Amino acid sequence: MFQTLTTRMKRFGLRLLTRPRLDLPLLLALFVLGCAGLATLYSAGNGNFSLVTGQAARFVLGAVLLLVISRIPPPVLRSWTPWLYLGSTALLVVVAVLGEGRGAYRWLDLGVMRFQPSELLKLTMPMMVAWYLHPRQLPPSWKDIIVVGLLIAVPAGLIAEQPDLGTALLVAGAGAFALFLSGMAWWRIGLLVGGVGAVIPVAWQFLHEYQRNRVRTLLDPESDPLGNGWHIIQSKIAVGSGGMFGKGWQQGTQSRLEFLPEHTTDFIFAVFSEEFGLVGVIAIMLLYAFIIGRCLWIAMNARDTYSRLLAGAIGMSFFVYVAVNGGMVAGILPVVGVPMPLVSYGGTSAVSLLTGFGVLMSIHANRKLHD
Amino acid sequence: MSRRRASIKEVRGEVALFRRRAMAGFALILLGLAAVCARYVYLQVLHHDEFVARSDQNRVKPRAIPPARGLIYDRNGVLLADNVPAFRLEVIPEQVSDMDDMLGKLGTVVPLSDEDIATFKKQVKQGRRFEGIPLKLKLTEDEIGRFAVNRWRFPGVDVVPYLTRRYPMGPLLAHVIGYVSRIDVDDLDRMDDDEEASYKGTTHIGRIGIERYYEKLLHGAPGYELVEVNADGRTQAVLDTTPPTPGKNIYLSIDVRLQKAAEEAMDGRSGAAIAIDPRNGQVLAFASVPSFDPNLFVNGISSADYKALTTAPDKPLYNRALRGVYPPGSTVKPFLALGGLTMGIRRPSDTVLSTGEFCIPGQSRCYRDDKRGGDGTVNMIQAIELSTNTYFYRLALDMGIDRLSDWMGKLGFGKKTGIDLVGEVEGVLPSREWKAARSKAGWFPGETIISGIGQGYWAVTPLQLAHATATFAGRGIPYTPHFLLDTQDGVDSPRVPQSFPPSGPSVIRKAADWDAVNDGMKAVINSGRGTGKRLPFGFPYIIAGKSGTAERFSRKTDAYDTNKNTAYLASRHRALFIAYTPADDPKIAVAVVLEAGAWGAQDSGPIARKILDQWVVDEGGQRPENLPPGPIVTADAIPEPAPGEASSVQDAQPAGAASTDLPPQDDGEDQ
């Protein structure tokens, strides 16, 4: 029994190398990124090891989910898609009802752990759009675009209402990218973007006061140096003082002396920039670009429309994380709760991100074999 | 569903289209990342020197200054809750390398109890990061001195000044004002982001009573100061200050003199005494006896003190006035009479013959009067005066339970009065619906009959009784009882009166109805029947009132209770008394409930009288001559002189409904 186990493991390892179900370059890139994240976290947390172990535990959980999901073939995922989408949207409604009359309410208390249903939508949203578009003639017609628009708007609206603008943005972005990849005509994209631009002044009225303040503060951080502006000013000082080569690992004064708020979560990239400088920033940006590019490569080689759209959308939505968080830390985008993927501490985002990469691995494993 | 088949699609073109799109998308993404990188170049290369300079000078950070909590006064400006400066020991856990070692060494400098350490460790686990966590509150001067000398040995530990709450009146108003205590994680979880931000630097939050109910008024908003810190994070200098907005001061309608009189009159006997101004619903006195010292809770109560309070047999933490429920007994009779008049079922002159027993036709079970042989022929005024059960048995039967509970509901029974305290209970107003929810057996006529004399399922809080009395005394206009009188922005600002309009129109149809019941209640106190000392002795105004005596246990046999021993009766009875004065233009209404009193009027009447005496003084009058000590006599509860001629209060239960099924008394701590 024991012997058969070892031989089976040996066989499994051999097959992993000769005919990998997992895309090794992507896996390697994720691993390097995770390590960089843990190293930054160790420094940002002032050498607090429990933060690092906590984050590593999330990575392990995410990796297990990645492995499990990668064994589910895309057609199976496709057949589950509508139910997953409906289920996760229903959970959002539950949160909205439970949260009635309270402040920011995003969590569902399961007793053993708290869980944020909006996190599920980051994956089920592009799945649903891909599912809807895959049997249809592409590029999509106006009718299909409108249906997809509704599929995106309902959950994104519910999340924005919680209020969690950052996650709403990520969810809507993932859906929109699937639509973009389906070949929606450029002039239609132009028309829609123009329309959204025209709607912005109206949407401003619907934002929460604190969200408006964040935008106002962004335009002039020095006007509110104690409140919202504090984040932006301190973050810019951290980034700027890092210079070309940075102050060195564990040498960043901004987070050491606790000038930088949230320096282990949303603003961890400021710590990274301070300690590793522009060289570090460009290196990590290249790493992110490689990951996104690799996802798109996997998408191009996918076997069917559903897999193509899904893999492409997941890869591209990774960009939203990086751009929004990087822009926020550098003071060009408002402060919204979007983490730096696989670097920021906490939340369920590390787990949900790795789960998404599990889907990519599954698509990769079932790629076209010719061509 | 018009799903086109996949095979119809032009797959080859789609693959090419996707390829083009993916390329375009990737190009856009690279462009976007390049733009972000450009921003970093701008900050890190082009403006590097400027930011390095700012980083080096960055020694200044904002720190929240907690607001001073609003003070609480009585209606005449007597201070009931204030803030006094104190010092506490705070630890920033991130700056301590070996916590257990540090605590051990610190314990030799400043004595730390196991509880201090346990609470502290719990808070470290739950605490907000990089914030000082209180280790020991209210340091003595000696402790501060010893720590100051040894401070260099304990990085991350500091003595921090703060304001702590003090209740100068101690137990006197504990059940009204309540207390503040340390904010815990559950409190923070309940708050949204903005609210949580407003508690930055604040350590205490209103836990029960006025402190909890008016937390939002009392708390205020924090300010900020810019402090210069050294590399250890210790404050070097304060550069700029945005002062906090202190919480509003609150003036309560309570009159401390009246409250003291009520407390003293209760003389330690368990129960409650409440005084309300019927003209506006202001609560003038609100005593629940026994009470406790709220100061114990402010900085964390020791487990020995807490155990003593929770295990004491007379339950001092239990707010009897707000949460205690008692059968109202005969005190409901005037209200029932008023209902009869309002519904047009009775005229004041209608009489009933009281023979000592009232039987429903066709049933063997009968219901007794207080007095053997009955009161003879009585009209409404006499029936109230003599508390003639038969009159009210018949009235209740004629009215029917639905109209009865409807009417009593209008006077506030069976629901929360809406007073500005947390944790009020509803009590029980007997009704078909109430019973149907708890029992399969239907409603019996016998239950209607005993409901007419405040027995059976009835359960009222002393507050409800006082509220109903005040509503009646105020000629039927209901006011939600309340403590809040004025608010004030600061000690030098003017007091801003808070408005509490009537909660509805008068429940009384015509003035004559009120006069009839008022006459009955005046007669109770003033008619001169019975022998012995009288309640109005030496009092300058006419008092109207009604007593009630309710049995705690249902009787086991049908026999009259012949034991006249007062101590024995006190163990069986609850004594209730309601009163208001001046009878024709009521300005104060009082309700007294004693958990152990032989007879309503004898035991609780003098308590009400002492409260009214003090009220006369407060109104600027001469102190009325003291009532001589000992029991007094009213027309509605005349102790029978001859032994064996015993009066029983009333019969307990009809045969059909043997169990009273009162809700279990909630005797937990009231929070």
β-partners of residue B460 are B326
Q: What is the pLDDT of residue A261?
A: 73
Q: What is the pLDDT of residue A177?
A: 93
pLDDT tens digits along B623-638 = 887 777 766 767 666 4
CA distances from B671 to A197, B167, B295, B314, B465 (A): 53, 19, 16, 17, 22
Residues B161, B82, B128: CA angle, nearest 5 degrees: 45
Contact B43 A236 (CB under 8 A): yes
Mean pLDDT is lowest, of A171-185, B197-211, B362-376, B455-469, for: B362-376
Residues 156-175 of A with CB under 8 A from B: none
| Residue A68 predicted with pLDDT over 70 | yes
Contact B242 A240 (CB under 8 A): no
Residues of chain A positioned with their CB less than 8 A from the CB of B43: 236, 239-240, 330-331
| Residue B3 predicted with pLDDT over 50 | no
Residues 217-256 of A with CB under 8 A from B: 226, 230, 234, 236-244, 253-254
Contact A285 B36 (CB under 8 A): yes
Q: Which one of A48, A182, A237 has the shortest CB-CB distance to B51?
A: A237
Give the pLDDT band (50/70/90) at residue B653.
Answer: very low
| Residue B642 predicted with pLDDT over 60 | no
Pick B556 or B147 by higher pLDDT. B147
Mean pLDDT is lowest, of A73-77, A193-197, B282-286, B471-475, for: A193-197
* Proportion of chain B above pLDDT 70, given as a percent: 85
* For residues B645-671, average pLDDT: 37
pLDDT averaged over every residue in chain A: 85
Q: What is the pLDDT of residue A255?
A: 73
- A137 reaches B (C-beta below 8 A): yes
| Residue B127 predicted with pLDDT over 60 | no
pLDDT tens digits along A206-219 = 777 777 776 776 66
- State the count of interchain CB pairs (< 8 A) between A and B: 156
Strand residues in chain A grouped as ranges (E): 108-109, 114-115
Q: How far apart are the first and last CA of chain B?
A: 58
Residues B560, B564, B566: CA angle, nearest 5 degrees: 135
Contact B54 A240 (CB under 8 A): yes
| Residue B25 predicted with pLDDT over 90 | yes
Per CATH, B61-252 and B257-294+315-486+507-618 having the same topology is answered no
pLDDT averaged over every residue in chain B: 82
* For residues A75-97, average pLDDT: 91
ipTM of this complex prediction, to 2 decimal places: 0.90
- Token pair 């004065």 in the structure block, residue: B581
Of B645, B126, B167, B85, which is closest to residue B370 (Cα–Cα)?
Answer: B645
Q: How many CA atoms lie within 13 A of B576 on its CB side?
A: 31
Mean pLDDT is lowest, of A121-135, A264-278, B518-532, for: B518-532
Q: What is the pLDDT of residue A2?
A: 64
Q: Where are the domains of chain B?
A: 61-252, 257-294+315-486+507-618
In the three-class reduction of DSSP (H, G, I as helix; E, B as strand; rest coil), residue B338 is classed as helix
Longest dimension (CA), chain A: 71
Contact B9 A135 (CB under 8 A): yes
Residues 266-295 of A with CB under 8 A from B: 273, 277-278, 281-282, 285, 288-289, 292-293
| Residue B652 predicted with pLDDT over 50 | no
Q: Which one of B4, B17, B242 has the shortest CB-CB distance to A183?
A: B17
* For residues B17-26, average pLDDT: 92
In the three-class reduction of DSSP (H, G, I as helix; E, B as strand; rest coil), residue B125 is classed as helix
* For residues B527-534, average pLDDT: 63
CA distances from B219 to B65, B70, B215, B421, B542 (A): 13, 7, 6, 17, 44
pLDDT tens digits along A15-36 = 666 666 788 899 999 999 999 9
Give the pLDDT band (50/70/90) at residue B287.
Answer: very high
Give the pLDDT band (50/70/90) at residue B662.
Answer: very low
Q: Are B407 and B340 in contact (CB under 8 A)?
A: no
Residues of chain B positioned with their CB less than 8 A from the CB of A319: 29, 32-33
Q: What is the pLDDT of residue B641?
A: 36
| Residue A370 predicted with pLDDT over 70 | no
Q: Is B659 a catalytic residue?
A: no
Q: What is the pLDDT of residue B650?
A: 39
Least Cα separation, residue B194 to chain A (angstroms): 8
Q: Which one of B4, B51, B62 has the shortest CB-CB distance to A137?
A: B4
Give the pLDDT band (50/70/90) at residue B231.
Answer: low
* For residues B32-47, average pLDDT: 93
Cis-peptide, bond into residue B501, ω within 30° of zero: no
Contact A240 B195 (CB under 8 A): no
Catalytic residue among B330, B387, B451, B604: B330
Q: B257-294+315-486+507-618 has which fold?
A: Beta-lactamase (3.40.710)
pLDDT tens digits along B304-340 = 888 888 888 888 999 999 999 999 988 999 999 999 9
Give the pLDDT band (50/70/90) at residue B131.
Answer: low
Distance CA B460, CA B392 (A): 19
Of B355, B446, B375, which is closest to residue B653 (Cα–Cα)?
Answer: B446
Of B375, B424, B377, B431, which is closest to residue B407 (Cα–Cα)?
Answer: B431
Distance CA B139, CA B158 (A): 12
| Residue A312 predicted with pLDDT over 90 | yes
Q: What is the pLDDT of residue B647?
A: 34
pLDDT tens digits along B51-89 = 888 887 776 777 778 899 999 999 999 999 999 988 988
Pick A234 or B197 by higher pLDDT. A234
- A258 reaches B (C-beta below 8 A): yes
Residues of chain B positioned with their CB less than 8 A from the CB of A236: 43, 51
Domain boundaries B61-252, corresponding CATH code: 3.90.1310.10
Give the pLDDT band (50/70/90) at residue B663.
Answer: very low
At B62, give phi and psi (nearest 5°): -80, 150
| Residue A98 predicted with pLDDT over 50 | yes
Give the pLDDT band (50/70/90) at residue B659.
Answer: very low
